[in-house]
Each structure stands twice: as C-alpha cells, then as structure tokens.
C-alpha cells in the first residue's frame, strides 16, 4: 500500500510509478501551487494562469492512465 501525506509526495510517487509522463510539467504544477498559496501579485497570478493551461493538458493525459490502472 502506498502512503502519501503531502501534495509533493503524491507527485513523486506518480513519477516513480510511471503514471506521470512529463516530470517537468508536474514539478512546475507543484511549484506554482506553492507560489499561489499566498500570492497577491497580479503579474505572478497571470503567469500562473497561463501555466495552468499547459498543466491542464498534462492532467488530461493522466486521466486515461489512471482509468486503465483502476480497470486492471
């Protein structure tokens, strides 16, 4: 059984298990998540919003992988 207690540990476990294909994008998602927890800067918020579009595509690629794992 896999135990993950943080957002970062979930991503790292996914990378180790081969579920996540684009390590750079998922580590960037983690970085942007950490930046936005206390962000009140409009410029930084716009950078995050732009990145979300890219990160969203990577998450969309992950859904069929997870669905297959659940079906197996």
The whole-angstrom separation of Cα 49 and Cα 14 is 24
- Does the pLDDT value for residue 36 go beyond 80? no
Domain that holds residue 46: 7-71
Predicted model pTM: 0.56
Under 8 Å between Cβ of 40 and 14:
no
Which residue matches tokens 């994008």? 25
Determine the average pLDDT of the residues in 9-34.
Answer: 82
C-alpha dist (Å) from residue 58 to 14, 38, 64: 13, 24, 11
Q: What is the pLDDT of residues 62-72, one digit of tens each?
A: 888 888 888 87
Asked, for residue 31, whether it belongs to a domain, the answer is yes
Residue at 2 is within a domain: no
In a domain, 51, yes or no: yes
pLDDT above 80 for 55: no
Query: What is the overall mean pLDDT for the chain?
Result: 80
Instruction: Decide if 33 contacts 8 (C-beta within 8 A).
Output: no
Residue 28 lies in a domain: yes
Kindly tell me if the per-residue pLDDT of 24 is higher than 70: yes
**Residue 19 counted as domain residue:** yes
pLDDT score at 11: 81
Domains of the chain: total:
1
């Amino acid at each position: 059984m896999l135990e993950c207690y943080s957002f970062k540990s979930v991503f790292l476990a996914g990378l180790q298990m081969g579920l996540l294909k684009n390590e750079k994008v998922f580590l960037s998602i983690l970085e942007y998540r950490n930046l936005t927890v206390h962000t009140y800067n409009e410029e930084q918020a716009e950078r995050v919003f732009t990145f979300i579009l890219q990160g969203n595509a990577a998450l969309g690629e992950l859904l069929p992988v997870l669905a297959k794992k659940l079906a197996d």
